[in-house]
Chains A and B, each alone.
Chain A
Amino acid sequence: MTAMLEVSGLIKRFGPITAVDGISFHMERGEVLGFLGPNGAGKSTTMKMITGFLRPDAGSITVCNYDVVADPLSAKRSLGYLPEGAPLYPDMTPRQILKFISEIRALKGAACEAAVERAINAVHIAEVLDQPIETLSKGFKRRVGLAQAILHDPPVLVLDEPTDGLDPNQKFDVRSLIQSMAPDKAIIISTHILEEVDAVCNRAMIIDQGRVVADGTPRELQAQSPYHNAVSIRVSAATADAARRDLAACSFVASVEQRGSEAGSVHFIVLAEGRTPILNEVGALAHGADWEVDQLYVEPSRLDDVFRAITTGEIAERRS
């Protein structure tokens, strides 16, 4: 299977700052890749280069086998792009913008009308079609931006923060839309909302200081969390000290963190040595000792923790 998107050795400098420092990856049909990273990590810059807006200082990008630098028009025809902040012409209406884009994209007659119709229905903007963009809410603007990106049903979609400014229902709609388009496209989305990666992406990439620092399925990334397989336990205040001492002494426990106490009980997070499952061991220990346990469950590992740990260098430190 040939790659829909091939990025290799991408470098972009702005004066003394290297915004993108050797990013390489490739994507195939059906992949939904979530770009994660702190602000200024190089996510948007990478997207701007993939879509042919910025010229890379080094490296190459091919979209559906078209080189973005050598054959930009063919590459751009295969791409749909929602730029950061969804910029649109403020004095035009969504209908005029979609018509303009479809003309530029060489959609004609019935095919044009069908494409516009499909895009309008996909993002639910029918009720604002004839209002100038400048009068629309942020959520509607974002959805019009999305509509123009998917108008020509491109094989590769690049969406810079597609759900920014949307309310929870609209977010859900956009995520469903992305998922429904996923099987026959390669889609990149950038986001700050890590739950979004869980919800729509089957691949996640963390970018920090212009480099790829993690790349895998969301589940694989979660497994890198310091809290992976950690156990959450809530015991009564009377037996808390004993529980803490006993747990800390166990070989399968890396460390014990206190999360706070309330109403006579204390909440501990028990980090697993080697991040292996320890729920049964902790359960057995709790059962054997006479702690008064209120709650005991496996802490769900969250991408937020991985993200923070990787982008602040915590994981590297722990490993060394």
Chain B
Amino acid sequence: MIRSTWSIMKREFAGYFATPLAYVFIVIFLLATGIFTFYIGNFFDRGQADLQSFFSFHPWLFLFLIPAISMRLWAEERRGGTIELLMTLPVPLASAVLGKFLAAWAFTAIALALTFPIWITVNILGSPDNGVIIAGYIGSLFMSGSYLAIGACISATTKNQVIAFVVSVAVCFLFLVSGLPIVLDVFRSWTPPFFTDLLASFSFLTQFNGIVDGVITAKSVVFFASLIIVWLVANAMVVELKKAN
């Protein structure tokens, strides 16, 4: 199980770098984080030694960039028929699902790690609380994992990568904004308070902002981890049910 997960992860990970996708993604991700942090986030004008302006854009940046990574995971296998090759190898379904997810997640982690110049910058300019910054990175990593798990599951439902991308963005958006008034107000008037609270607690923004502020980290990490597991289980079920179509 571990060996086959590792083999599949390696193959999948190499797949990102076999096409320009990996490089395009990393360049755009780094450019976008830079623009958002320094221009839109007013990193310098804020005059504070922290990475708030860097992290606060991650939920929105990931909304469009992460589905671009996850869209190919299963849709490409189904389009090319290689899913038949993969599923007739002595590989547990869980290994295939996990291996693909971990490959995409590792790739995201690398992209995230390459933002280190921003971290160095803030340390040169001032003395930030590096604990909070590490928490921010962990939160960002787990949030990207949740986006990826959603995207991987949706990728398994279709042969078409564009459909996988669009639907993934839509679903991720729902999870992202479920804590905002725009959604909560719709439900507040006619549902009991616990429901709106529940809805709000599913919000990526709520959970992520908690981590970035340096509070309730453990709880939010558990939230994202559970979400990843649920979507990966759904992913396995979708693959099993739809592989023949």
> Residues of A at under 8 Å CB distance from B?
14, 48, 51-54, 73-74, 76-77, 79, 81, 83-85, 87-92, 96, 100-101, 103-106, 132, 148
- Nearest to B87 among chain A residues (CB) is A53
Give CA–CA (A48, B87) in the complex, Å: 10
Q: Does B7 contact A (CB under 8 A)?
A: yes
CB–CB B84/A90 < 8 A: no
Q: Does B11 contact A (CB under 8 A)?
A: yes
CB–CB B81/A87 < 8 A: yes
Least CB distance, A133 to chain B, in whole angstroms: 10
- Give the contacts of B1-19 with A (CB-CB under 8 A): 3-4, 7-8, 11, 14-15, 18-19
CB–CB A104/B88 < 8 A: no
Give CA–CA (A88, B244) in the complex, Å: 17
Least CB distance, B81 to chain A, in whole angstroms: 3
CB–CB B11/A100 < 8 A: yes
**Among A53, A73, A100, A105, contact of B84 (Cβ-Cβ < 8 Å):** A53
> Residues of B at under 8 Å CB distance from A?
3-4, 7-8, 11, 14-15, 18-19, 80-82, 84-85, 87-92, 243-244
Least CB distance, A47 to chain B, in whole angstroms: 10
In the bound complex, residues from chain B placing their C-beta under 8 Å from that of A85 are 81
CB–CB B90/A73 < 8 A: yes
In the bound complex, residues from chain A placing their C-beta under 8 Å from that of B18 are 91-92, 132
Known: A87-B80, A87-B84. A77 touches B19 (CB 8 A): no
Give CA–CA (A77, B244) in the complex, Å: 21
Known: A53-B88, A54-B244, A104-B90. A89 touches B82 (CB 8 A): yes
- Nearest to B95 among chain A residues (CB) is A104
CB–CB B243/A100 < 8 A: no
CB–CB B91/A104 < 8 A: yes
Question: What are 27 A-B contacts defined by CB distance under 8 Å?
Answer: A14-B244, A53-B87, A53-B244, A73-B90, A74-B90, A76-B90, A83-B81, A83-B88, A84-B81, A87-B80, A87-B81, A87-B82, A87-B85, A89-B11, A89-B15, A89-B80, A89-B82, A90-B80, A91-B15, A100-B7, A100-B11, A101-B89, A103-B7, A104-B7, A104-B91, A105-B89, A148-B85
- Nearest to A87 among chain B residues (CB) is B81
